[in-house]
Structure 1
Amino acid sequence: MTPTTGTGSARADHPYVQAPTTAPLPESSVRGWWAHSRPLTGRQVLVFVRDYPTLLQSLIFPALSMVMFKVVLGDAIGSATGQNSAYRTVPLVVLVAAMFGSIASATRLNRERSTGLLARLFVLPINRAADLTSRVASEMIRIFGTTIVLLLAGHLIGFRFTQGVGPAIGLLLVAMAYGAAFACMTLALAVNAKPGAPLVPYLGLFSSLLMFFNSGFSPIEAYPTWLQPIVANQPMTPAIDAMRALAVGGPLTESITKVAIWTVLIISLSIYPALRGYRKAARDR
């Protein structure tokens, strides 16, 4: 067979003519950001799923904690509030699981910085925000799956949805919004910290303070008077109150407003330091 000469008569299916390749998307474009973030998100999800100890800890430990809270504190909280303690315990544990899972992800990011992975990603023709986006997106996927499992476990201790499908979806969205904000904060800290920094003790201490001083662990009225305004307005309390209201009914507007304010504030304050940390990590390597 004689090769076809001349570009005008060339056919794409000719054995001697290569099909034209698709031009790469511009790194700074929205399409490029979206296209580059998707495979990196898949990578993060696979890393989490294949890390069996972390996977089991993210699912089993929170479920056992939920049962423990119900057994140990259930009667006390129920007597104080006149409501099944499951409606406080389940939202509390869902948010705690989101926080401690994000701490594990932040630790992995800090470790990957020392391996030079961030530097290699920085020199590739991909959007500069793609890796950060992928990590936050994978956290939201993880939180969604973990929340579903914990809601099923909560059903065993009396947690029920009494307001319909829409509020149930709203409960999931509240958990994911809180988790996304906390993930952005921890990732920003992790990428700016030196490799091997003791992130777990410090972030664990901060998360524990949030966990023990909120309306899920104990009614706000049970705290000392001087502490009540802090407990009522820290990030976890409005999220717990909103999730409880979406499940069983009650005032919702104030809690949802506070959740939205905290989410926007934390994410806004975290994005720039996180992107700057990526740039610094790549150049330091």
Structure 2
Amino acid sequence: MASVTDFPEPVHTAAGGITAWWRHSGLLLGRQIKVWLRDPGTLGQSIIFPALSMVMFKVVLGDTIGQATGQNSAYSTVPLVILVGAMFGGMATSVRLSVERRTGLLARLYVMPIHRGADLTSRIVAELLRILLTSIVLVAAGFLIGFRFTQGPWAALGILGVPLLYGAAFSIMTLALAVNSSRIPLVPILSLFCSLMMFFNSGFAPVESFPTWLQGVVKYQPMSCAIEVMRSLAAGGPITENLIRTAIWAGAMLVIFTIPALIGYRRAATARD
């Protein structure tokens, strides 16, 4: 008859430390990617809706923008739809997080021997991978309407880097809202916010075409700054000023929303209601 000492000692999985954070984040990243690939809503918001918007802008507004700027409208439209894809895809991800909160999945993950920061990290990294993939797809589609890289390979990489920076900041904001707003209509508010930014920026129409009192808002809002950087990287033009503005906007959003996202995530995962 086996004695108590014959049984193996239990193996304890450390839920803290950099190694655990790295390993658990990678495992949960795989889960996030599978969920994203199986979610038609996220796919539609990230790729289909922006691609249709690209066609609409080109067909309806292409000649108007081209005549006003003297430049192929594709150099405005493609950056615009890439950022739209980043925003609406991020909105779909935040909605899914709200659903997982209501169904108790966050609570189940929180009580498992998983690093506390792994799940949130995996969501952000998955967002960056999604933005990179959709940016490549939309740039490829943009070639059909005249978009080209004219400033060399490093500038082309920069065009993909700008939406990653913009998307990271926007994702942190939407995640913070999702975990801190269980009783407000998140979808209508985010949809209205994204729609306003989509139609009031320098990629939708030249700044000079907006009313005088609105031109300053349009010119300096974060989406316009990012669009101008991407347009200059593709077609040529000044980069530094708008790149600094984009970095300031992104940095400000990360500073403002990172702590609320972390605190809200913990509260959402441990809440009893």
Q: Report the TM-score, using the length of structure 1 for normalisation.
A: 0.89
Q: How far is the alpha carbon of 1:178 from its aligned partner?
A: 0.6
Does residue 272 of structure 1 match 2:259? yes
Check conservation: 1:112, 1:118, Cα contact below 8 A: yes
1:84 aligned residue (49, 72, 75): 72
Does residue 215 of structure 1 match 2:202? yes
Following the alignment from structure 1 to structure 2, what is the Cα–Cα distance between the partners of residues 169 and 147? 11
Check conservation: 1:86, 1:157, Cα contact below 8 A: yes
More displaced 10-residue stretch of structure 1: 183-192 or 49-58: 49-58
Per the alignment, in what secondary structure is the counterpart of residue 90 of structure 2?
A: helix
Per the alignment, in what secondary structure is the counterpart of residue 226 of structure 1?
A: helix
Following the alignment from structure 1 to structure 2, what is the Cα–Cα distance between the partners of residues 127 and 203? 30
Per the alignment, in what secondary structure is the counterpart of residue 271 of structure 1?
A: helix
Deviations 1:50-109 (A, max 9, x none): 123432443222112101100100011011101000000110011001100111100000
5 Å-filtered alignment, 1:113-128, equals 113-128=101-116
Deviations 1:133-172 (A, max 9, x none): 1111111111111111111110000000001111111110
Match of 1:62 in 2: 50
Q: How far is the alpha carbon of 1:255 from its aligned partner?
A: 1.0
Does residue 225 of structure 1 match 2:195? no
Does residue 73 of structure 1 match 2:64? no
Counterpart residue type for residue 63 of structure 1: A
Question: Judging changes above 3 Å, is the alpha-carbon distance between structure 1 residues 26 and 119 closer, same or farther for their aligned structure 2 residues?
Answer: closer
Higher helix content, 1 or 2: 2
Match of 1:160 in 2: 148
> Taking every aligned residue pair, what percent have the same amino acid on both sides?
60
Following the alignment from structure 1 to structure 2, what is the Cα–Cα distance between the partners of residues 108 and 60? 18
Following the alignment from structure 2 to structure 1, what is the Cα–Cα distance between the partners of residues 113 and 215? 51
Question: Judging changes above 3 Å, is the alpha-carbon distance between structure 1 residues 282 and 242 closer, same or farther for their aligned structure 2 residues?
Answer: same
Check conservation: 2:226, 2:246, Cα contact below 8 A: yes
1:245 aligned residue (232, 251, 255): 232
Q: How many residues align?
A: 267
Check conservation: 1:25, 1:31, Cα contact below 8 A: no
Match of 2:172 in 1: 184
Match of 1:199 in 2: 186
Following the alignment from structure 2 to structure 1, what is the Cα–Cα distance between the partners of residues 7 and 18? 33
2:134 aligned residue (133, 137, 146): 146
Counterpart residue type for residue 247 of structure 2: A
Q: How far is the alpha carbon of 1:26 from its aligned partner?
A: 5.0
Q: Which has the larger radius of gyration?
A: 1
Question: Judging changes above 3 Å, is the alpha-carbon distance between structure 1 residues 201 and 17 closer, same or farther for their aligned structure 2 residues?
Answer: closer
Following the alignment from structure 1 to structure 2, what is the Cα–Cα distance between the partners of residues 126 and 243? 39
Following the alignment from structure 1 to structure 2, what is the Cα–Cα distance between the partners of residues 230 and 199? 24
Following the alignment from structure 2 to structure 1, what is the Cα–Cα distance between the partners of residues 47 and 193? 21
Check conservation: 1:87, 1:244, Cα contact below 8 A: yes
5 Å-filtered alignment, 1:22-37, equals 24-27=13-16, 29-37=17-25
Q: How far is the alpha carbon of 1:23 from its aligned partner?
A: 6.4
Q: Report the TM-score, using the length of structure 2 for normalisation.
A: 0.92
Does residue 99 of structure 1 match 2:87? yes
Following the alignment from structure 2 to structure 1, what is the Cα–Cα distance between the partners of residues 115 and 174? 21
Following the alignment from structure 2 to structure 1, what is the Cα–Cα distance between the partners of residues 76 and 205? 8
Deviations 1:159-206 (A, max 9, x none): 0000111111111010111111111100110011116x4211100000
Check conservation: 1:62, 1:97, Cα contact below 8 A: yes
What is the aligned-residue RMSD (CA, Å)? 1.9
Q: How far is the alpha carbon of 1:17 from its aligned partner?
A: 11
Please, which runs of 5 or more residues in structure 2 have no aligned partner? 1-5
